[in-house]
Amino acid sequence: MSIASYIFGICSALLTLIVVVEMLRRGRLRERHAIWWLVAGALALVVGVFPGLLEWAAKLVGIGLPTNMVFFVSIAVLFLVCIQHSAELTKLENQTRVLAEEVALLDLRIAQQELASGTAEQGDEMNDKSGKRSNG
């Protein structure tokens, strides 16, 4: 391995870590989502600084080419992150669904109360609005 590729590896890992930490610091990434990226970045940094570790680990699990070890671990991490995202998406969809149901119920209740309290015109206006919104 040349000095250039050694430095390149370390720099890439550092860049990844800096980006993740900076996003965490600014609140653009939540800890629970950042944890996998932090783990991946830290692993990349360790392997970048001590390439011997990679060869040792590859030999340990019986992978002939150490680079393949890198690919395997990378894909495994990406896979786990994807699954986590799918699970989060499902949860968010369920929450959105419940919110939509509640909004519809509240909308209906407001319209009914406005009608009951004698502001029939306003009530009609509301109904028109909800009609328009669903048209849009």
Partner 1 sequence: MPTTFGRTLIVMPALNEHASVGSVVAEVLSTLPGVGCLVVDDGSTDTTGDVARAAGATVATLPFNLGVGGAMRLGFKYALRYGYDNVVQIDSDGQHDPRNVPALLEALAGADLVIGARFAGKGNYSVRGPRRWTMWMLAAILSRVAKTRLTDTTSGLKASGPRAVRLFAEHYPAEYLGDTIEALVMAARAGYTIRQVPASMRVRSGGTPSHHPIKAALYLGRAIVALTFALARPPAAKAIES
Nearest-angstrom CA–CA distance, 100 and 82: 27
Residue 27 CA to residue 2 CA, distance in Å, equals 38
Contact pick of 82, 108, 116, 120 for partner 1 (by CB under 8 A): 108
The yes or no reply on residue 85 touching partner 1 (CB under 8 A) is: no
Residue 127 engages partner 1 in binding (rule: CB under 8 A): yes
Through-space distance between the first and last CA atoms of the chain, rounded to whole angstroms: 61
Of the residues 7, 11, 89, 105, which one makes contact with partner 1 according to CB under 8 A: 105
In contact, 54 and 66? CB cutoff 8 Å = yes
Kindly state whether residue 103 participates in binding partner 1, applying the rule CB under 8 A: yes
Interaction between residue 95 and partner 1 (CB under 8 A)? no
Toward partner 1, which CB reaches closer, 77 or 115?
A: 115
